[in-house]
Structure formats: C-alpha cells, structure tokens
A and B are shown apart, each in its own frame.
Chain A
C-alpha cells in the first residue's frame, strides 16, 4: 500500500547483494597461486565420478583448510564490522561514528600486543585480544555511569570512549616501546595492520558463532534502532526503555567488533563507510539498512582480502588495503551522488 516502488527497490537491493556475495565467494575460491576455479571443477567432478586425480588430495586440503576458512572469516569480519558500525550510528544518533567509538578495537589491539609481548601463541593472542576489547568497553561504560549519572548518557559514553581509547592506544605504544626490536616489535606492528593470512578452520568457526551471537539480537532489534536514533528522551516518550536498549546494542556490537579485531587485527573504514553506502541504496530505515550493511560489508571485505592475497606475491596487510580502497571509493560515491541525505 505504502511506497510500493521503494519497497520493491529495497527487496531487489537485498537480492542483488545476496547474489553478489555468492558470486564473490565462488570467484574467491578459485583465486590464488595453487589452483584456479577450473581446477576445482575438475577436482569436484572427478570426485563425483569416483576417480581421484593426482592433484586431488592437495586441492581438497588447501580448499578446506586454508581457502574456505579464510573466505568465511573475511565475510564474517566484514559483516560484523558493518553491523556494529550501523548499530552504533543509530545508538549515538551520529552518522560519523564507527565501531571503535567505545574503545573496543583499541582495547583488543592492546590485548593482542600484550599477548605477543609475553610470547603467547596464536590462540593466546586471540583470547587476550577479545577479552581486552570487551573489558575496554566495560571500562568506558562504567566511567560514563560514574561521571554522567542518569542524564545525557550518550554524550558521556562518547567522551568516556575517547578517554578509554586514547589510554589503550598509549598502552599499545608502551608495549611497542618495550618490545624486542628484532622479533616482537615487527610482530606487533604487523598484527595491528590487520591480516587474515593465518586464519584456521577453528578461527573461522568461532568467528561465525560470535557473529551469530552478536548479530542475531541486533537483527531482531533493528527496527527499534530507528526510534533510538531520534534521541533518548523522544525514544522514551514513545515507550522504549532506552537504558536497556543501549546495554543490549553496546553488548552485541562490542562482541562483534572485539571478535573481528581479535582474529583479523585492526581493520578501518568498513564500520564507518559501509553503512553509508547501504544508506544510499536503501535509505535510513534500519529494517533494511542493517541487513544490507551486513551484506555489503561481507562483500567489501572479501574483495579486499582477495586483493590482499593475490595482488602481489607477498601479502598486503588487509587494514592498509581497506583504508586505501575504502576512503577513495567513499569519496567517489559522495561526489557522484548527492543522494546520501535523501531517504
């Protein structure tokens, strides 16, 4: 009845995004030095016919243990960061907000740096990183409560987030300063640049579960983010328990961004720019904005990671690539359309 054209447009954007995601997943399977999509096809059809080629065992190991986990991890990280970013933009009523506003990524970065400094293994780095990310946001929230009381919670959260974030960044600098320059310092620096090169099957499974745990509640609450983005008092007058809603959104978004950083390192721009791109396509209503943001985030990070592993013979750090591609692409979109602020 209402705005049938717009509704149809929203559905077709979702449909196109799903198709693009499946397409880029398939293409990504065949990217890399070891074998191409054609090799995979011969392998799969060979297995189906029951005769194993010479390369067959090699292809299935690389595919199942390396390529597919990495592709899935890239999609999960992109979806997580975009979802967290879009949710935070609504919660803080500000389109310039990114998932690290409350210090989640800075905290996760510090956790990883400390773990590397102490010589922990890959799992130790991930665990400490995830824990520190969550703790940093907990600290931010506690500070905002003790400083702000019950008034102006959003403003107090942003200010406390800035304080926590810069504290964490300073601590990362301390760990770098203390680190062994031959071996630990480069490890910390490269980790912070972000990469999915060492993702294992377990990592990607864990990441997927955390994505579901944080993403499903946000997906269910997404329409209410509209109301929350009108401001605390207005949302209250419309019948929303804003405090409870804030805690839920912060908890879920923190889980998403801490999980992403702990596995992939610091990855900028996705959480800030992808929700804007989605807003240009489907408008501001979170009902379609949140799923479209997630889908575009997944596609974007998957393509960025493909470039990271295939553009040159050595890996390019993923965090550098997302900023290098994300920033100009975003600028291009801003210049090309002035539809950013129309519904």
Chain B
C-alpha cells in the first residue's frame, strides 16, 4: 500500500516528495457528453502548471472535476495521496482552494469579510470566524500587500484589487493547492503582471498552482510546467520551453506566432510570443496522440 498510487519526484537533495495532486486517466463531462478524455498529470510542491488552450476545449470542465464540482466518469484524482471521491467538501477545501475570475458580488461585502469566508472550512458547523481567523485573514492581505483595503467595500475597488482579494481569500483557506481560473484575464497590463508576480511568490512558499490562461506569455513569466489542451481530448504536458513553441501555438490556435527573446535587466534571457496578423490561417492538424 505504501507507495501505491503516489508518483514520486526526486528533489535536488535526494528527498522524495509525493505529488500533491495527481490525475490518472481522468475522463469527465456533462451527462453523456464527454468533454475531457484521458487526462493524466501530477502537480508537486511549489510547481506552477499553466494550462493553455483555445476556448471551449474543456479547460474549465477539467477544473470543475479537479475542484469536485462534477464527478469524473473514468479515472481517478488523488489529492495529497488520497482518493478525491472519498473526501468531503470540508476536507477537500483544506487541500485545494479556488480563485475565480474577479466578478461582481451579489452583496457589497467589505474586503475583510470576503477574505474571512476562506476560513469556513476551519470553523464549526454553526460557528463563525474568531480572533485567530481574523488574524490569518489580515495576514493574507498583508502578504499580498493590500492590507490597506481591509475595510473598503469589494464593489468599490478596482478589478485588479478584486482579483487580489479573491487570491487572499483562497490563501486564507490554507490549502497547499491553489487553482486559478484565468487570474489575469480582464485586468490591465500592470495588474496582470502584479497578479503573476504574486503567483510566483506563492510557489516559492511551497504552494502549488494550477492555472489557466489565454496568454502564452504568462507561461513564460511564471510557469514551471505547461500543459496544452488542443481541440477536444488532446492533452500534452511538458517543460515551458518545449511546450510553448511556434509550432505548438500555431497548432493550438490556428494562427502564426513568432517567439522572440530578449535580455532581461540582470542579463537573463526572457521570451515572449508575437502573433502575426494578416498571414494565412493554418489548418489545425489532428492530435497526434489520438487516432
């Protein structure tokens, strides 16, 4: 039983760490309509896995399965070594937290009230958060550098700030895995980078992040691993440099893309994607893994 089902990663110092999250040949969808087929990957401590792919390819469906909103039809999901279907909501929430896209709230809660909601899995059935929970919530706001917002109304802060508040709420859950649904979408350029910087900081604190993005540049900026979902049912996983290539991007999105490199401030090489406009569309080739 000891190591069954736990994929292992050799750490730099020879330590062996089990995967925090592992998907094994997972299929899921809505009713008879199977949207995601045969996806396997594992996520280790401190990794940032960036999920790329065109709209409607099943990224959100896969996320819903990992968060337990929908059941898998085949395969299994292991969370910190435990089968997910055997975990209750509260237990699952202690391992996985979720950052949705910044959105309107039905009611104008104050920022601190929203961050405190993240403590719900740590309070009793009829309980409400206490002094310790308030301190944790304030600590998370401080960690993200937005403690000054604590008594502002969520409806009156900017979209970038709202996104940071939702990240703080997920952090207050104190889960090891954070799942983010396009955390940088609909934010201005500066806020996008600010959010990605925070994501990178999380991973250095040992938190693993699984995020979707529509911008392959984000993968260059913060990912340690990249997964591509191209067309339905096609899932490929690899290192950033081998996954975010001109041919991969053309293949996934049906456009021509150039990848450019530049020297960063400290002499390190930075990369970025430049789509070409007005060129002939590329026919998307069928997925090589499936026949």
> Which positions in A face B, CB cutoff 8 Å?
1-3, 6, 89-90, 93-95, 151, 220-224, 226-227, 229-230, 233-234, 236-241, 279, 283-285, 287, 341-343
Contact = CB atoms under 8 A, between A and B. Distances in A.
A3 B117 contact: no
Given A224-B120, A229-B106, A234 B113 contact: no
Interface stretch (B121-129, B257-265, B266-274): B121-129
Interface in B142-199: 150-156, 169, 173
B117 A227 contact: yes
B67 A239 contact: no
B6 interface: no
A3 B150 contact: yes
**Could you say which of A93, A95, A284, A341 has the most chain B C-beta atoms within 10 Å of its C-beta?**
A284
Contact of B68 (A95, A226, A236, A343): A236
B75 interface: no
Interface stretch (B51-59, B77-85, B89-97, B244-252): B89-97
Contacts of B131: 1
17 contacts: A1-B131, A2-B112, A223-B128, A224-B120, A226-B109, A229-B106, A234-B98, A238-B117, A238-B118, A239-B120, A239-B121, A241-B90, A283-B110, A284-B110, A285-B113, A341-B153, A343-B113
**Could you say which of B107, B108, B123 has the most chain A C-beta atoms within 10 Å of its C-beta?**
B107
- Rank and list the top 4 A-B pairs by shortest CB-CB distance, nearest first: A239-B93, A239-B121, A237-B98, A223-B128
Interface residues of B, number: 45
B113 A1 contact: no
Contacts of A93: 106
Interface in B60-87: 64, 67-69
B134 interface: yes
A88 to B, nearest CB: 12
A343 B108 contact: yes
A230 B153 contact: no
B136 to A, nearest CB: 12
Contacts of A222: 128
B108 A223 contact: no
Contacts of B138: 1-2
**Could you say which of B92, B120, B153 has the most chain A C-beta atoms within 10 Å of its C-beta?**
B120
A343 B110 contact: yes
Contacts of B135: 1
Contact of B107 (A95, A224, A236, A237): A95
B150 A223 contact: no
Interface of B: 30, 64, 67-69, 88-90, 92-94, 96-98, 100, 105-110, 112-113, 117-118, 120-121, 123, 126-129, 131, 134-135, 138, 150-156, 169, 173
Contacts of B30: 151
Nearest to A283: B110
A230 B30 CA distance: 23
Nearest to A229: B106
B96 A237 contact: yes
A29 B151 CA distance: 42
A287 to B, nearest CB: 6
A233 B70 CA distance: 10
A247 B192 CA distance: 40
Contacts of B98: 233-234, 237-238
Contacts of A283: 108-110, 113
Nearest to A216: B126
Given A285-B109, A341-B155, A230 B117 contact: yes
A106 B49 CA distance: 52
A284 B109 contact: yes
Contacts of A230: 105-106, 117
Given A233-B98, A237-B93, A238-B117, 4 more contacts: A3-B150, A230-B117, A237-B69, A341-B155
B107 A284 contact: yes
Contacts of A343: 108-110, 113, 151-155
B230 to A, nearest CB: 26
Contacts of B169: 238
A215 B105 CA distance: 26
Contacts of B92: 239
Contacts of B89: 236, 239-241
Contacts of B94: 239
A77 B108 CA distance: 28
Contacts of B69: 233, 236-237
A2 B112 CA distance: 8
Contacts of B105: 229-230
